[in-house]
Structure 1
Amino acid sequence: MANMLEHRGGTDSAAVPLPDTGERVPAISWPIVGIFGLGIGTFGVSAWAALTGALPSVATIALSAASIFVLFTVLHDASHYSISTRRWVNVAFGRVAMFFVSPLISFKSFSFIHISHHRNTNDGASDPDHFISGSPRWQLPFRFPAMDLPYVGFVLRNIKRRPRGEMIETFGLAALAVACIVGATMTGHLWTLAVVYLIPERVAMFVLAWWFDWLPHHDLPDTQRENRYRATRNRVGGEWVLTPLLLSQNYHLVHHLHPSIPFYRYVAAWRKNEQAYLDRDAALITAFGKELDAGSYDEWKRLNGQLAPLLPLRVPAGSTATKATAHTIPVAEVRHLTADSIELTLDVPADLRDQFAFRPGQHITIRHTVGGEQIRRNYSLCTPAASGDIAIAVRRVPGGVFSNYAVESLSAGDSLEVMTPTGNFGPQLDELARDHIVAVAGGSGITPILSIVRTALAIQTETRCTLFYGNRSADTTMFLDELRDLEYRYADRLRVVHIRSAEQNHPADLRGRIDIDLITELLREDLRSVDSWFLCGPAEMTTTLYGSLIEQGVPDDRVDIELFHGVQRSGDPDGGTAATATVTLSGIDHEVEVASGDSILEASLRGGLDAPYACMGGACGTCTAKVVSGTATMDQNFTLDRGQVEAGYVLTCQARPTSSSLCVDYD
C-alpha cells in the first residue's frame, strides 16, 4: 500500500511494481485450440461455398473475414508464447494463423513487430501501430484496411537486425502471395481469389485495426516507458457482449501490463487486483467513450457499470401463481446428458409464462398417470431464472416409474401435466451484491445448483461462485459441457471443482466423496467468510455437511439445503388433536375433519380437495399453506425458513392440528 500512496503523491507509476496476477502460461491453451479450429473450419466452409456458388458472395466474404479476425487472436497469443509452455507449439500455431491473417510477412517478423509495439506504445514512428492509433480521424477509414502494410516498411527498416532465416521466410511468403495474385489474374480467377481471400482479409484488417488498435490506444499521450498504466486502456461496461466480441481486448491494458497472460484470462487478472490498478491511475473508459478515473470508476460501477449493459438483467420476480396449479405443457426438446439422464425443455405457452416464471433453485412437479394411478415427481429447474427457458433434468432411478418412462420414451411433441414452480431453495438476489457463494452438489443435485450459479453470475456481476460437484466419473456427470462453458465465460468469478469417487485417472486429491475436510482443504479460506452455502445431493451428504458447517461456526441462516426426497412422518399416528379445519383453496372455503394423528394434507385429500402436494416428506414445499387461525405443529421441515414459520406458514403434509379448530389458506 505504501507504493500506491507514493504514486498518488507523484511517483512515476511505471516504476511501481506490478501486482501479481497469479496467472501462468498453460501447458496448452484449449480456448485457443478451439477458436483455431473454428477459424480454420469456417474459412474452409466459406471457400467451398465461394467455389461452388452455394452462398452469395457477400456471405462468403463475411464468413472468411470472421475467420481471419478470430485467427488473429491465435496469432497474437502465439507471438507472446502464451498458447503453450512449449515454444514450438506457439510457433506452429502462429505460422498457420499468420498465413491467413497476412502472408506478407513471416510469423517471426510479426512477433518482432508486435513486441516493438509493446515496448514503444504511442511513441511515434518507433511504434509500428502508431500508423493507426495516432492517425487523424478523417484518415481512419483509409488506414484501417491498410493496417498491416506499414509492417512491411518496419521490417525493411530493421532488416539488418533480424535473423537471416526470418528474412528469407518473410520474403518467400511475400513472393508467394504476389505469385498467387498474378497467377489468378492470368488464369481469369482473380475475382474468385478476391471473394475467397483478398476482400475478406481487408475487411478483417479494418475491424482488427479498429477494435484491437485504435479503441485501446487512441488519444493517449503517454508512452509505455512514461506510464505503462496510461499507454493503453480498459473499456468497461457491456462486458457480456464486448468481451466475447472483442475476444477480451476490451481489457487491453491488462494485456500490455502482463503480455504473457492468455487472452481469456485478462478479465480474471483485472478482477484479482482491481484496486491495485486503480491506485496506479489506470486508464479507463466506458463502452460509450466516457473517460473514468479511480473515483469516478467506483461510482460509475456502483450506479451504472455492471447494472447497465445493453440488455440489462433484472432480479426475476418469480411465479404469479398464488399456489401450485397444474397445466398441460408440451415438451419442446429432449436432450441426453449422460447414458441415464436427459434434459427436458418445456414449451410453456405465452399466456402461462408469468405463472411459470421462477426463482433460481425452485422446482416443478410432474403429474403422470400409470395404470390408472397418478404419481407426482419433483424436478428442479436447471435454467437461469432470467432466461425465460423452462427445463429440468431427469436421471433414471432403478424402478422409477416416471424417470424410466422419461429417459426411454419421452420425446418432443409429447405433453406433460406440470404444476407451477414452488420451493424456497436459492439466494435472495441483489444486483449490487459482492458475495462469495459456495455450492455443493452430488449427482443430480446439480440441477437446482446450476440454476442458482447461472443466475447469480449473470445478475450479481460482482459475485463469485465456487462449486464442488461430486460424481462417480466423468461419464456420469450431468451438464459437464455446460459447466465448462460457464468457467470460460466467467473465468474470473467461477471455480468448478469436480470430485469423483470411481475414476482412477482423476487427481488423487479430488478423488473420494465430498465431506467437510475435503471442502476445507480445497476452499483454502475460512468457511465462515462465505456469504451463502447451497447444498443439494444425497440426503446423507447434504445433512452431514449441514451439521458440519454449523459445528464449524457457520451461521445457520447462511446455509441452505435441498433434499429431493423427504422423510415420511415418523410421529405417533395417534398423536395430535382431532380438529375441524376450514381449508381455503382457489378462493373457496372447504370444511374437512382432521382425525387425530392425520396431517392437514391427508385430511384435505380424503375430503376430495385437489390440494397441491408432491413429495409428502417435507422436502419440496409444494404443499405450503398459511395457518390463519388456530395452531398446528410440523413433524419436520426441510424447506421453510424461520421467517416463514414465524409468519404462520406450514408444510401441510407435515402439519397436524394442536387446536380443535383451525383455518388454513393455500392461496
Structure 2
Amino acid sequence: MATSIEVTSIEVPARRGAHHALPDPGERVPTLSWPIVGIFGGAIALFAASTVAALTDALAAPVTITLSATAIFVLFTVLHDASHYSISTHRWVNLAFGRIAMFFVSPLISFKSFAFIHIEHHRNTNDGGSDPDHFISGSPLWQAPFRFGLMDFPYLSFIVRNVRRRPRAEVVETSLLLAVSASVILGCAMSGHLWTLALVYLIPERVAMFVLAWWFDWLPHHDLEDTQQENRYRATRNRVGAEWVLTPLLLSQNYHLIHHLHPSIPFYRYVAAWQRNEEDYLDRDVAIGTAFGQQLAPDEYREWKRLNGKLGPILPVRRPARHPGRAKKFHTIPVASIDKVTDESVLIHFDVPDDLRHTFSFEPGQHVTVRTRIGEEDVRRNYSICSSAVSDTLAIAIKHVPGGTFSSFAVGQLRPGDTLELMAPSGSFGPQLNPLAEKRYVAIAAGSGITPILSILQTTLAVETACQFTLIYGNRDADSTMFREELNDLEERYAGQLEVIHVRSRDSRHPPLLSGHVDETKLNRWLDAELPASSVDDWFLCGPVEMVTGIRKLIIERGAEANRVHVELFQGNRAPNLVEGFTSAGVTLCLSGRRHEVDLTAGDTILESALKAGLDAPYACLGGACGTCKAKVTGGSVVMEQNFALSQADVTDGYILTCQSRPTTPTVAVDYER
C-alpha cells in the first residue's frame, strides 16, 4: 500500500560503519603464501639433515636436538597458519600443509582436531576451562616451566570432552594417530631403539613444545584478565622493543594481538597490519608490553615509541567515513580477476585504485551499481558485494540469467583487465556489529541471494567472535550452489558458531527433510525447534520477491519483531504508470553538487522526471529493491508505491526511492547527496 510522507529538512548523523569496530587490516589471504612455502621447505630440510646427523653420529646429540627442535618450532607456524586457512585461498592447500606440519609438531592428534581446538582458543581466550590454552597462559608462575613441555596433552582431554561435537572422520583419524604413535614408541622400546627415537624426535619435539608454550601462549596471554568476549583488544598483547631480533625469532608472534584481531592474516603481515591502523588500535586501549615485560598504556606506548623510535614510520590510518550522501557518480574500475563459481556464475574481483579505496569502502550487505556499454545499449545493473567488509577486496558474483544482457556479457565476454563503471557502495541491508555482542543471526537465501549474505556472514563472524550464525541456503543441487567450498571452509573454521543448512530441490540423494524448496512447512519446523523466532536477534532474507515476502510475513507472525527481519530482493517491481490522483509538479533536484529545476508530468516518478530532463540520476533496478536511487525529500511530500530497500528509520528521516515516488504537492525538493 502506498504511504504518503511529509518531510522537512533534518540533518541526519552518519551511521557508524560496522567494520569500524574492527579496523581494516588491509591484508588478505594470498593465493599461495610463498613465505610459508619457504619456511616449510627449509624446516623439512633442516629436520632431515639433523635426523641423518643423529643416525650417523655426525654431530653431537645436543646439536642435533637443537636443530630438530628448531625445525619443529618453525613448522608450528605452518600448522598455525593452515588452521586459519591463511596459507592459500584454496582449501586443499591449507589441509595439505596442515596435515604434514601436524605430523612433526604433535602426531597425537589430527590436523582438523588441532584446528578445532585452536579456534576454540580464539573464541574463548583467557576463559578458564573453555580456553584449551589456559593450561599454559593461566598457570601460576612457579608451575609454568613444568607445564610448558606438556602443552599439547590438555588438548587430548579437550577432544574427549567435545568428541560428540566433532565429525566421525576426524575422531577416527585422531584415534588412529594415537594408536600409531603409541605403537611406534612401544616398538622402538622393545627393539632397543628407544634412545634413537628419542634423539631423532621425542626430545626435540618436547623442547620445541616447551618453547612454543612459552612464546606463543604464555608471553602473549599471561596476567591478562579480559576474555575474548569481554574485550578482544585486551585478551592478548603486542610485545614491542628489540624487534630487529624478536620479530624474526618469534616469527611475528610478538604481534600476537594482531593475530587475534585478524586471524586470517598470514603471520608475516602482522606488523604491516599494526602499522596501518596503529592509532585506531591505540584508541581502543589495546594491551601492549615491552620485550622486558613492562606493560604500557597507549599514552605510555606513544611516549616509549617517541623515545625509542623502534617501529619506523607509521602508515596513515584508513578509517573510512560513512555518510549516506557519498557522491553518486560512476568511477572506471579495472577488473582484477574473474573466477568461475559454478557452471553458470562467476566471481569478479576489482582492482580499486588507491585514490578510490576510501570511496569504495563498504559495509556488509551493501551493493554497487555497475554500468557498461554493450553494443549500442548503455546497460546498468545492481550487484551485491560478496567479499568481507574487513578484507581489502571488492568483489561481486554474477549468475547467468538466460537472455540477460549484462549477465551474458559478464559470464561469457568480460576478461581481467577490462574496465567497468561502478558507483560507490550503498544500501543498509547488513547488521551494525559490535565486537562484544553475543547475538544470534539467521540468514535465508536462495541461489544468487547468497552474495550479500556471504559478506554479512564473513564479516559478522570475524567481528563478533561470540555470535551464533545459521544459514539456510536453497539451491537446485550441489553443483549449482554458489560458494559451496567457501561455505564449507567457513563452517569448519567457525565450528560451533556457524551452521549451514542446505536445502535442494533437485537432488535425489539429499535428505528428505531438506529436499524441495525453503517453504512454510520447513520453516515452521525450524521455528518450532532450534530457531524460535523470538530467540533470533536479526534475520536476513535474500531471494525472489515471493519467497522473501512470504518468509518475512511468517517469521513476524511467529513472534519476530518486524525491524529485526531484514530483506534484500533479486528484483522489485517497477512502479506502474499512474495518472489518476496525481498532478504535474515542479521538482528541485540536488545532484552532483548542482541544483536542477525540472517539470514532472502527472503520474511520472521523480526518477523518470530527472531522466527525461537528461540528468544522470542514479538508478539500477527501477523496482524499489536496490536503493541506488535513494534520496532525501527536503521539501514538499511524496507517495512511495513500494519499498524493499529502505529501513523504517530511513523513511522516518525522509529518505525515499525516487523510482517509486510521486509528488503529492505542487513542488517537491529532493537531495541525492544527503
TM (norm. structure 1) is 0.61
Q: CA deviation at 1:176?
A: 8.1
One of 156, 176, 187 as aligned partner of 1:169: 187
Counterpart residue number, 2:612: 606
Task: Determine whether 1:429 maps to 2:430.
Answer: no
Specify which of 383, 405, 425 is matched with residue 409 of structure 2: 405
Q: Residue 383 of structure 1 aligns with which residue?
A: 387
For residue 390 of structure 1, report the CA deviation from its aligned partner. 0.7
How far off its partner does 1:366 sit? Answer: 0.6
The root-mean-square deviation of aligned C-alpha atoms, in Å, is 4.8
Q: How does 1:127-138 map to 2 (within 5 A)?
A: none
Instruction: For 2:505, give the aligned amino acid.
Output: S
1:623 equivalent among 621, 626, 629: 629
CA distance in 2: counterparts of 1:235 and 1:445, whole angstroms: 36
* DSSP-derived class of the 2:479 partner: helix
Equivalent residues of 1:601, 1:652 under 8 A apart: yes
Report whether the alignment pairs 1:206 with 2:207.
yes
Residues 67 and 177 of structure 1: CA distance in aligned 2, closer, same or farther (over 3 Å)? farther
1:529 to partner: Cα distance: 2.0
CA contact (8 A) 1:520 1:527 kept: no
Change (3 A) 1:287 1:211: farther
**Distance in structure 2 (CA, Å) of the matches to 1:554 and 1:314:** 37
Counterpart secondary structure, 2:552: helix
Structure 2 partner of 1:364: 368
Change (3 A) 1:60 1:475: farther
Match of 2:535 among 497, 507, 529: 529
CA separation of 1:206 and 1:314: change in aligned 2, threshold 3 A: farther
CA shift for structure 1 position 554: 1.8
Closer/same/farther in 2, CA of residues 404 and 530 from structure 1, 3 Å limit: same
Alpha-carbon shift at residue 64 of structure 1 (Å) = 6.0
TM-superposed CA distance for 1:661, in Å, is 1.2
Residues 69 and 647 of structure 1: CA distance in aligned 2, closer, same or farther (over 3 Å): closer
1:590 corresponds to: 596
TM-score, normalization by structure 2 = 0.60
Query: What is the CA distance between 1:377 and its match in structure 2?
Result: 0.7
Identify which range, 418-427 or 566-575, moves more after superposition: 566-575
Q: Once structures 1 and 2 are overlaid, which stretch shifts more, 506-515 or 594-603?
A: 506-515
Letter in 2 for 1:372: E
Shift of 1:386: 2.3
Q: Distance in 2 between matches of 1:430 and 1:134?
A: 33
Give the Cα–Cα distance (whole angstroms) in 2 for the partners of residues 337 and 570 of structure 1.
Answer: 36
1:645 and 2:669 correspond: no
Distance 1:356 1:540, change over 3 A: same
SS in structure 2 of the partner of residue 453 of structure 1: helix
Shift of residue 320, structure 1, vs aligned partner: 7.5
Counterparts in 2 of 1:518 and 1:169: CA distance versus 1, 3 Å: same
Question: Secondary structure of 1:474's partner?
Answer: coil
Query: Corresponding residue for 1:279?
Result: none
1:532–1:69 Cα change, 3 Å: closer
Question: How many angstroms apart in 1 are the aligned matches of 2:577 and 2:152?
Answer: 79
* Shift of residue 544, structure 1, vs aligned partner: 1.0
Cα distance in 2, alignment partners of residues 590 and 98 from structure 1: 67
Give yes or no for contact 1:319–1:355 (8 Å, CA) kept in 2. no
**Structure 1 match to 2:329:** 325
* Worse overlay, 456-465 or 623-632: 456-465
Question: How many Å apart are 1:363 and its aligned residue?
Answer: 0.2
The question of whether the paired residues in 2 share the 8 Å contact of 1:437 and 1:533 is answered with yes
Change in CA separation of 1:376 and 1:527 when aligned onto 2, cut-off 3 Å: same
Q: Deviations over 1:418-452 (max 9, x none)?
A: 11111121112233322111110111101101111
Distance change (3 Å), C-alpha of 1:98 and 1:643: closer
Q: 1:618 to 1:65 in 2, by over 3 A?
A: same
CA contact (8 A) 1:334 1:412 kept: yes
Question: Residue by residue, what CA displacement relative to the aligned partner does 1:3-60 show, whole Å, maximum 9, x if unpaired?
Answer: xxxxxxxxxxxxxxxxxxxxxxxxxxxxxxxxxxx99x96799449979xxxxx9999
Aligned residues of 1:602 and 1:653 also touching (Cα < 8 A): yes
Verify: 1:469 aligned to 2:473, yes or no.
Answer: yes
* Partner residue, 2:269: none
| Correspondences of 1:231-246 after superposition (within 5 Å) | none
Cα gap change, 1:572 to 1:135, in 2 (>3 Å): closer
* Alpha-carbon separation, structure 1, partners of 2:68 and 2:622: 59
Contact 1:385 1:455 in 2 (8 A): yes
Residue 442 in 1 paired to residue 443 in 2? no
**Conservation of the 8 A alpha-carbon contact between 2:620 and 2:626:** yes
Q: How many Å apart are 1:67 and its aligned residue?
A: 4.4
8 Å Cα contact 1:319-1:357 kept in structure 2:
no
Q: Give secondary structure in 2 for the equivalent of 1:379.
A: strand
Q: Which moved more, 1:513-522 or 1:458-467?
A: 513-522
Asked if the contact 1:235/1:287 (under 8 Å) is kept, the reply is no
Residues 581 and 68 (structure 1), Cα distance of their counterparts in 2 relative to 1, 3 Å cut: closer
Tell me which amino acid in the other structure corresponds to 2:532: D
Displacement of 1:406 after TM fit?
Answer: 1.3
Q: Quote the offset at 1:482 in angstroms.
A: 1.4
Matched pairs, number? 471
CA distance in 2 between partners of 1:554 and 1:144 (Å): 51
Assess if the C-alpha contact under 8 Å between 2:320 and 2:358 holds in 1.
no
Within 5 Å, give how 1:178-193 maps onto structure 2: 178=196
Aligned match of 1:515: 519
Establish whether residue 562 from structure 1 lines up as the match of residue 568 from structure 2.
yes
* Partner residue in 2 for 1:221: none
1:369 alignment partner AA: R
Call closer, same or farther: CA 1:61–1:650 in 2, change over 3 Å. same
How far is 1:601 from its partner?
A: 0.6
Identity %: 43
Distance (Å, rounded) in 2 between the aligned partners of 1:419 and 1:435: 32
Deviations 1:581-604 (A, max 9, x none): 111112211111100110111110
Q: Distance in 2 between matches of 1:147 and 1:570?
A: 67
What SS does structure 1 have at the residue aligned with 2:193? helix
Is 1:658 the counterpart of 2:664 in the alignment? Answer: yes
Q: What does 1:273-292 correspond to in 2, within 5 Å? A: none
Map 1:12-91 → 2, pairs under 5 A: 46-47=44-45, 65-67=73-75
Contact 1:147 1:206 in 2 (8 A): no
Please say which of residues 314-323 and 475-484 is displaced more in the overlay.
Answer: 314-323
Structure 1 CA distance for aligned equivalents of residues 578 and 418 of structure 2 = 43
Change in Cα spacing, 1:50 to 1:238, as seen in structure 2 (3 Å) is farther
Query: How many Å apart are 1:455 and its aligned residue?
Result: 1.4
Q: Which has the larger radius of gyration?
A: 1
**CA separation of 1:46/1:552 partners in 2, compared to 1, >3 Å: closer, same or farther?**
same
Relative CO higher for 1 or 2, CA cutoff 8 Å, sep ≥ 6?
A: 2
Q: Structure 1: which 5+ runs fail to align?
A: 1-37, 52-56, 75-94, 108-128, 149-163, 182-196, 219-232, 251-285, 290-312
Match of 2:487 among 464, 468, 483: 483
Check the 8 A contact 1:319/1:358 in 2, yes or no.
Answer: no
> What displacement does 1:400 show?
1.3
The code of the aligned residue for 2:209 comes to: L
Q: How far apart are 1:170 and its partner, in Å?
A: 3.0
The partner residue of 2:343 within 339, 346, 351 is 339
Take 1:352 and 1:402, find their aligned partners in 2: how far apart are those partners? 24
**Structure 2 residue matching 1:572: 3-state secondary structure:** coil
- Give the one of 521, 539, 546 matched to 1:540: 546
Q: How many angstroms does 1:235 deviate by? A: 8.1
SS at match of 1:580: strand
> Aligned pair in 2 of structure 1 residues 217, 644: CA closer, same or farther (>3 Å)?
closer
Give, in angstroms, the shift of residue 340 of structure 1: 1.2
Q: Is the 8 A contact 2:73 2:208 kept in 1?
A: no
| One-letter code aligned to 2:525 | E
CA distance in 2: counterparts of 1:450 and 1:409, whole angstroms? 25
2: CA distance, partners of 1:664 / 1:241:
50
